[in-house]
Each structure stands twice: as C-alpha cells, then as structure tokens.
Structure 1
Amino acid sequence: MDIRYKRLTEKELNTFIHMRINQLREEGAKEEIDLVPALNEYYTRHMADGTFVSWLALDEGNIIGTSGMSFVEKPPYFGCPSGKIGLLSSMYTDLEYRRRGIAKELLSRVIDDAREYGCGTIQITASDMGVKLYTDFGFVHNGNFMQYKL
C-alpha cells in the first residue's frame, strides 16, 4: 500500500462529489433531490475563491479518502477573535482502508490549512463513527450547538 496525498482540483471533483454522496448515504441521509448540481456549484465556486480546501488520499491513483474544510467568517468573539471558523466536512475513507491512519493524516492537513487561513476554531457535526477520531485529535463537544431548519 503506497498512499499518496494531494489537494483536490477540478479534475477530481466528480469523484469527490460521488464520495461525498456515499458518505451522506452511509450516515443515513434521506435522498429527496439530486444533490450533484448543488455540490458541483458549491465546490467549484468556493475552491475558486479559496474558502473551501480539500486533501485527498490516493492508492495507485484511486481516491480512497477525502477531507474538506469550508472557511466562514462571523463577527469576532472571545473564543475566536479572528471570527474565522473552519467547518470540517467530507471526511470519508473507503471501507477497506479504514483504521490505517488515513483520516487522521487528511484531518491534520486540512487543519493546517485552517490555521494558515487564520481560523480560530474548527467545527464539525461528527458522525458516530467519526467521534473517536475527532476526540483523539483534541476536538471537544460543545453542548450549546443548536440548529433551526428553514
């Protein structure tokens, strides 16, 4: 096994989107619409303006792991004086490659990108499967997180 890591480019976008949809399915999402056009538009736009970054893990040229970090800005607050927040998403490793440190390496790379961007904090809505990875990395639960669906 010779795992290589590289940044996501437009060339890999279709495969990346396919893997994102697989991840959502695995997490139990209900598919009510074709999400591909919206994902394609989002990633293309935000990769172009630098507010979305992703690292890929490849084995013999095949993408076997993905990561993603969206950068958003809120008014500065004491917990994050820059107001810049990284929203972690698209953390996914193919079933047969799990538990080999690939997700940890991908996570480390997008966190470095968030640090470079000036983020003061990183947030994620973790799947049950991902909780151990994030806790081991140093993420802590924030019991105040609430959501209102429009």
Structure 2
Amino acid sequence: MEIEYKRLTDNELDTFIKMRINQLREEGAKEDIDLYPALKDYYTRHMADGTFVAWLALDGDKIIGTSGMSFVEKPPYFGCPSGKIGLLSSMFTDKDYRHKGIASELLKRVVDEARNYGCGTVQITASDMGVKLYTAFGFTHNNNFMQYKL
C-alpha cells in the first residue's frame, strides 16, 4: 500500500465536503439540514484567500484521509503573541485505513501549515476517538474552553 499525500484543490472539494459531512454524522451529529452548500461556500472562499488549507491521503485515486486547518486572528495575548490561531478540523481516516500512521502524517502537515502561517497555537474540539492522536502529538487539554450557542 503506497499512500500519497497532497494539498486539497478545487478538484477534490466535492469529495472532501461529502467526507466532512460523513465524519460529522459518525461523530454523532443529528441535525436534519443540508450542510453541503454552506461547506462549499466556506471552503471556496477560505481556500481562495489562504485562510483554509487541507491535506489529503490517497490510496490510488481514493481519498482515504483528510485534515484541515482554518486560520483566524484575534488580539494578541501572552499565550499567543501573534494572535494567529489555527483551528484544526476535518481530521478523518477511512475505517479500513486507521491505525497505520495516516492521521499522524496528515496532522503533521496541517500543523506545519499553521506554523508557516505564523500561528502561535493550534486548537481543536477533539472527538473521543481523536484525543489519543492529539495527546501523542503534544496537544494538551484546556479545561476553560466554553461555548455559547446563538
């Protein structure tokens, strides 16, 4: 098995979006809305302006893993003097390819993208499945994370 890694382009975007929706469903999302148009709009705009990048793992022509990174900026603070933050998303590996180091390689590539962008930190809301991967990579828990839904 020879896995190839490449950056997401418009050519793979349709498949990437479908995989993202499947991932959200696998993680327990129950909402009955069509998220495809909103995801298409988001990825198209943010890929164009450089504030979203993604890496793919391919086995032949089949996309078997994904990773994504959105770049946001907030006022600088002591923990992140640049104010630039990478928001990790779309970490997903096809069930048949898990536990082979693919997710680790995809994670390394998008974290490198965040570093090159000038981010001082990378954040993720981790699924139960992902916690082990992120902890092994060096992520730590921030128990102060809170959310207010509008």
The TM tier, using the shorter chain, reads: over 0.9
| Percent of aligned pairs with the same amino acid | 81
Amino acid at match of 1:78: F
Residue 61 of structure 1, CA deviation: 1.4
Amino acid at match of 1:131: V
Distance in 1 (alpha carbons) for counterparts of 2:82 and 2:135: 24
Q: Which residue of 2 aligns with 1:50?
A: 50
Q: Which residue of 2 aligns with 1:77?
A: 77
What number of residue pairs does the alignment pair up? 150
TM-score by length of 1: 0.99
Instruction: Let me know the Cα RMSD of the aligned residues.
Output: 0.4
CA displacement, residues 87-142 of structure 1 (integer Å, 9 cap, x when unaligned): 00000000000000000000000000000000000000000000000000000000
Q: Any unmatched runs of 5+ in structure 1?
A: none
Q: Which residue of 1 aligns with 2:141?
A: 141
Residue 31 of structure 1, CA deviation: 2.6
Amino acid at match of 1:110: V
TM-score by length of 2: 0.99
1:32-43 residue pairs with structure 2 within 5 A?
Answer: 32-43=32-43
Residue 32 of structure 1, CA deviation: 2.1
CA displacement, residues 75-94 of structure 1 (integer Å, 9 cap, x when unaligned): 00000000000000000000
Distance in 1 (alpha carbons) for counterparts of 2:23 and 2:101: 18
Distance in 1 (alpha carbons) for counterparts of 2:145 and 2:126: 12
Distance in 2 (alpha carbons) for counterparts of 1:31 and 1:5: 32
- Whether 2:108 is the aligned partner of 1:108: answer yes
Q: Which residue of 1 aligns with 2:14?
A: 14
